[in-house]
Copies of this chain bind each other. A is one copy, B any other.
Amino acid sequence: MSKYTIGVDFGTESGRAVLVDVSDGREIATAVYPYANGVIDERLPESGVRLEPDWALQDPEDYLRTFQQTIPVVLEQSGIDPAQVIGLGIDFTACTMLPVKTDGTPLCLLPEFRGNPHAWVKLWKHHAAQPEADAINATARAMGEAWLDRYGGKISSEWFFSKALQILNESPEIYAAADRLIEAADWVVWQLTGVETRNACTAGYKAIWSKRDGFPSKAYFGALHPRLASVIEEKMSCEILPVGQKAGGLSEQAARWTGLEPGTAVAIANVDAHVAVPATTVTEPGRMVMIMGTSTCDMVLGTEEHIVPGMCGYVEDGIVPGFFGYEAGQSCVGDHFAWFVEHCVPAAYELEAQARGMDIHALLEEKAAKLAVGESGLLALDWWNGNRSVLVDVNLTGLLIGATLATKPEEIYRALIEATAYGKRIIIETFQKNGVPIHELVACGGLPEKNKLLMQIYADVTGLPIRVSASKQTPALGSAMFGAVAAGKAAGGYDSIYEAAQVMAHLKDEQYLPNPENQKAYERLYAEYVTLHDYFGRGANDVMKRLKEIRYMRQVSR
């Protein structure tokens, strides 16, 4: 009898369940739940409390509704007997974290805290904790904390303790009421199993934990804030479980939500980007995986430990056991194009797309593809959402240069694509210069499916060949693979992620190869990008930060 597992992938705008055949990775059925409250960045639901700039929250009930609305659908669609589903894995955006009570109840579900923004889930792209990140970095440097080097010398405002410290600084009552501070990834596994576990992936990449040294010291946390000294013992957990293990069996309640059998194996939580690495066949060094969606996450495995400045971090056994998993990222990729389409595309283009029955992105891609490299005269810095890797600064902003009265929308669109490609090349070169070799790119996520022009531009700008995942939902497939490992060979799954990757992961046959002429033409443009990148990003002219500060003062004074 065939065996199946389900992977549930929690993205920025929606959650997705995929039911997969364990024997070959075939995706049998898929269901998507668009979060009812989406990304909360203007006002809180119900209370209407207004959020400050740079906030981004979510509603934890959207996560539970994802289980309830998608798993029964994939069972129904596939006609599979729930008894044949041997495991369940989940992956999540990170760091996406929330304060909860001892029994797991999110504080934002309690009436007394519902109108307090700090009681809600802080989404990965919540960018309002920069002062806390600055304090974390300054204190670490002052105290000579060795772990700082693991994270490229800088902790991001997106990460766990930046967000935790912001709660403590701005809403001490929420901090006090929070029995636990937890990654949403671990929280949903807790809701499925009834057991609170903590996974090594988010702990390692987002919460300054390592297999060898654990968390930073009480002395360090106490130096940040006296009440933070005992945060690990009080509100987190010293027991961190490696990915690839089983968290527990499905609870009776979760079995009712999903239609699966109670006791079904549930894997330890994982990060959306990281589960994608084995799901794109990558279990060895040299091949960088790019998960390309609203933002991009780049991961590469290394056999040695290297300090790479400005990267998101590296975690031993953090992606695939036996390797150092290096991570970098770009915080504005698909979001960039979505912003452009929402705010900058004229009605005439919308009408043309409608008349031709095309998606507006497809129309822009078609027009942009007709342009030669450099023909628009435009260049952009891809910092509409700050810079996540190399510069690691959320207060950098977007720049477009070279506009004339002849500049057309498709030229700007292409310039934005190219800007993200230049940003990618800086990341790749920084890895390479620091001892982490990269000779191939493997792409997955929504963008490679949607935009062939973008893929070709990435190949031309980086000079590397690009392969694409065969799955259109690689993270969900990866979670299903981890679900199979959680079930184990005895139950019809696998005993390691290597074994699972051998049979369940696939790439498409097609490749994107650099076009030598375009590659040469991009050299000049990339050199200009690097000059502007360094001028605006490395302190020669901090105009972006000053403008952002003025903007912030204006917005909060309203």
Contacts and interface: CB of A to CB of B under 8 A. Distances in A.
Contacts of A404: 384-385, 397-398
B384 A335 contact: no
Interface in A523-558: 524-525, 528, 531-532, 535-536, 541, 543-544, 546-548, 550-551, 553-555, 557-558
Contacts of A379: 543, 547
A519 B531 CA distance: 33
Interface stretch (A82-90, A370-378, A438-446): A370-378
Interface string A431-475: 000000000000000000000000000000000000000000000
A404 B384 CA distance: 4
A372 B558 CA distance: 9
Contact of A403 (B373, B384, B407, B408): B384
Nearest to A41: B406
A112 interface: no
Nearest to A350: B347
B377 A551 contact: yes
Contacts of A403: 384, 397-400
Nearest to A546: B528
Interface stretch (A72-80, A192-200, A336-344): A336-344
A402 B339 contact: no
**Residue in A384, A397, A555 whose Cβ sees the most chain B Cβ within 10 Å:** A397
Contact of A405 (B335, B345, B376): B335
B548 A402 contact: yes
Contacts of A544: 401-402
Contacts of A550: 374, 377, 521, 524-525
Contact of A347 (B346, B374, B385, B528): B346
Contacts of A528: 543, 546-547
Contacts of A339: 405, 407
Contacts of A555: 375
A385 B553 CA distance: 33
A374 B531 contact: no
Contact of A346 (B343, B376, B521): B343
A399 B535 CA distance: 15
Interface string A341-380: 0111111001100000000000000000000111111110
A409 interface: yes
Contacts of A405: 332, 335-336, 339, 384-385
A82 B507 CA distance: 83
A404 B555 CA distance: 14
A226 interface: no
B346 A547 contact: no
Contacts of A376: 551
A407 B336 CA distance: 11
A339 B409 CA distance: 11
Contacts of A401: 397-399, 536, 543-544, 547
Contact of A532 (B372, B373, B543, B554): B543
**Residue in A41, A373, A378, A550 whose Cβ sees the most chain B Cβ within 10 Å:** A550
A332 B403 CA distance: 12
Contacts of A172: none
Interface string A32-47: 0000000001000000
Contacts of A408: 343
17 contacts: A343-B408, A345-B346, A347-B351, A374-B554, A377-B547, A378-B547, A384-B404, A384-B405, A397-B401, A397-B403, A398-B407, A400-B400, A524-B546, A525-B550, A528-B543, A531-B541, A535-B541
